[in-house]
């Protein structure tokens, strides 16, 4: 069984998720993410999709909030896709996470499947980072 922290992260991400049409060219909330910082705080974010591809993924949105609040390090991440299932962060998000956590990224836990309790690491998802 996943520990209480994973469960809380999942619940907090689920609470901010919810598709909403903001304008004719912008929608948000289809994907939600949660990060556990090294201080134990959970940061969430949702995707913002635009017609011109200037949107941002839920993972980076949550990391922007974490950074805005003065934190730079995290231990865990999960994303809930629009179909309600978990999935791996996209390549752009992986790259952003690795650059943020260059020295410790290999040990960051990533929840791949909440129902099956499948967890991997950012190091396994990004084994040969370019730096």
Q: On the CB side of 125, how many CA atoms lie within 13 Å of its CA?
A: 23
Question: Which residues are CB-neighbours of 91 under 8 A, at least 6 positions away?
Answer: none
**Alpha-carbon gap, residue 129 to 47, rounded angstroms:** 25
**Alpha-carbon gap, residue 103 to 115, rounded angstroms:** 31
80 forms beta bridges with 32, 86
Q: Are strands 74-80 and 109-113 parallel, antiparallel or unpaired?
A: parallel
Q: Is 59 marked active-site?
A: yes
User: Of the listed 11, 12, 27, 59, which one is catalytic?
Assistant: 59
Q: Which helix (H) or strand (E) holds 23?
A: strand 20-23
**Active-site residue list:** 59
């Amino acid at each position: 069984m996943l520990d209480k922290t994973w469960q809380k992260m999942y619940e907090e991400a689920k609470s901010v998720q919810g598709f909403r049409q903001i304008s004719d060219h912008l929608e948000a909330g289809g994907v939600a993410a949660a990060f556990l910082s090294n201080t134990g705080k959970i940061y969430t974010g949702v995707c913002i999709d635009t017609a011109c591809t200037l949107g941002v993924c839920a993972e980076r949105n949550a990391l922007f909030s974490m950074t805005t609040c003065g934190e730079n390090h995290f231990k865990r991440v999960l994303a809930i896709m629009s179909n309600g299932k978990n999935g791996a962060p996209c390549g752009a998000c992986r790259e952003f996470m690795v650059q943020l956590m260059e020295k410790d990224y290999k040990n960051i836990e990533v929840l791949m499947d909440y129902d099956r309790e499948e967890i991997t690491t950012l190091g396994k998802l990004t084994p040969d980072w370019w730096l």
